[in-house]
Amino acid sequence: MSIVPVDDELPVTADNPREYWSFISYSHQDKSWGRWLHRALESYRVPRRLVGRAGPYGPIPRRIYPVFRDREELPTATDLSAVIQDALTRSRSLVVVCSPHSARSRWVNAEIVAFARLGRSGRVLCLIVDGEPNASDKPEQGLLECFPDAIRYKEVGRLDGHTDVVASVSISLDGCRAVSGSWDKTVRIWDLESRKEVARLEGHTDSVWSVAFSPDGRRAISGSGDMTVRLWDLDGSKHVTRLEGCANPVLSVAFSPDGCRALSGSLDQTVRLWELESGKEIVRMEGLGSGGSLVTDGLHVAQLIGNDILVFRDASDYWRGSEDAPFREQLLDRWERHLGLRVEAETAKVKPLAVSPSAPASAPGVPQSAPPAPVPAPRGK
C-alpha cells in the first residue's frame, strides 16, 4: 500500500478554499452532543501507521481537521443558508447526530438531502445518541424514532416547477399523482411515474396554503391567502367552484371520505363544512383557533392547533383537549398509533400525515358519552 506525503491543512486561498473532513448535522436541542463530537473529531490523533496511506477520500491525515459545525441557530428562512450550502459542498463526509430531536428537525433533514444530492449519499454516517432506529415502523413498541426521513428513505425523484415556497403536498390514493400548492399562487398536478407536471391550475390571487385530493383522485381542493377555497376538476384541468365566506386566509382543507363535502380551517378562527355540489356552507364552527390542521375519520373531525386538539362530532360540536388534560394525552397516543399522526413532544404540536378513508366510524380515543348529532346531508342525496 502506497504512502504519500500529507498536508494536514492546506493554505486557504481563492484558488484553494478550505475543505472540511466532515460536516456535523444536528438539532440544536442536541448541541451538547454536537459540541462534544466536534471536539472529539478535531482532537483525535490518527495512528501513525495509517497516516499517509490512501483512503477513500484521499491520503489519511494526521488529524481529522477541520470539521464544520454550525454554531448558530439557522434563520427562519425557507432554505438552507448560503454558508451551510457552501460548507456541505466542501465537506468530504456528513455525520448526523441521530435522536428524536434530529428526526423531527426540518433543517437536519434538509442538510442530509442537500449532501446526498451532491452524489455523496454513501458518505453519510450516523451517531445515535437517543431513540431507536426505524421505530416509526413499529409504533406498537412505543419507542421514539431517531432517524430523520432523509436517512430512512431514499429520494427517487424531484418535482421542479414552482417558483416560490411549496406550502402543501397531497398524494392521490392510488399513488400515481401528487397535487402541490405554492406561494407562487398556483396549484400543480404531477405524474409521479414520469415526475412531470401534467397540469397547472391558476386562479388564486394569493399564496396557496393547503391542498388535498378527493378520494377518487378526480378532483382537488385548495385553500389560499385570498380567503377562498377552490374546487378543481382534474380531468379537465379547470376551476369548478369557488367557496367564499372566510374573512382571513384559509390554511387547511380536507375532503370528506365520500368526496361530497369539504372542510376548511381559516385564520378567522372558523372551521367550515361545505357542500361541494352547490358550493354552499353547511356548518360553521367559530372561535376555534387560527386555522390549524384538519383530519377526519368519516364521523369525527379534529382540528389540531398548537397545544390543543379540538375534536368535533360530525362537525356539530366539540371537546377541547388541553395541554395538561389526561384526555389530550390519551387522544395523542391513540391517534398517533391508529390515524397516522406524529407528535412533537417539545412543542406539543401535532402534524397530520395521512388518514385512511376506511378508518373506523369512531376515532380511537374519542369519548363516546353521547350519540353523535346528525349532519345535514348534501342536497339531492
HEC-encoded secondary structure of 105-163: CHHHHHHHHHHHHHHHHHHEEEEECCCECCHHHCHHHCCCECCCHHHHCCCCCCCCCCC
Contacts 24+ apart (CB under 8 A), 40-43: 41/67, 41/95, 42/66, 42/67
Q: Backbone phi, then psi, for 294, in 5-degree steps?
A: -115, 135
What is the CATH classification number for the domain harbouring 71?
Answer: 3.40.50
Residues 114 and 171 grouped into a single domain: no
Q: Output the pLDDT for position 363.
A: 32
Helix axes 106-115, 82-89, angle to 10 degrees: 40
Find the domain containing 38 and state its range.
22-152
Residues 222 and 341 grouped into a single domain: yes
Q: Output the pLDDT for position 336.
A: 47
Residues 127 and 172 grouped into a single domain: no
38 against 251, higher pLDDT: 38
Residues 209 and 276 grouped into a single domain: yes
In-domain check, residue 361: no
DSSP codes of every residue in 168-215 = EEEE-TTSSEEEEEETTSEEEEEETTTTEEEEEEE--SS-EEEEEE-T
* pTM, two decimal places: 0.55
Residues 321 and 173 grouped into a single domain: yes
Residues 123 and 203 grouped into a single domain: no
Retrieve residue 362's grid coordinates: 369512531
Q: State which of 152, 179, 197 marks the end of a domain.
A: 152
In-domain check, residue 15: no
Residues 32 and 115 grouped into a single domain: yes
Q: Are 315 and 263 in contact (CB under 8 A)?
A: yes
Residues 124 and 271 grouped into a single domain: no
Lowest mean pLDDT among 68-82, 90-104, 183-197, 277-291: 68-82
Mean pLDDT of all residues in 107-130: 92
Domains contained in the chain, number = 2
Residues 207 and 340 grouped into a single domain: yes
**Using one digit for the tens of pLDDT, what is the confidence trace for 293-319?**
555 544 445 554 444 444 444 433 333
Residues 6+ away with beta carbon under 8 Å from 137: none
Confidence of residue 364 (pLDDT cuts 50, 70, 90): very low
Read off the DSSP letter of residue 357. T
**Using one digit for the tens of pLDDT, what is the confidence trace for 318-332?**
334 434 344 445 444
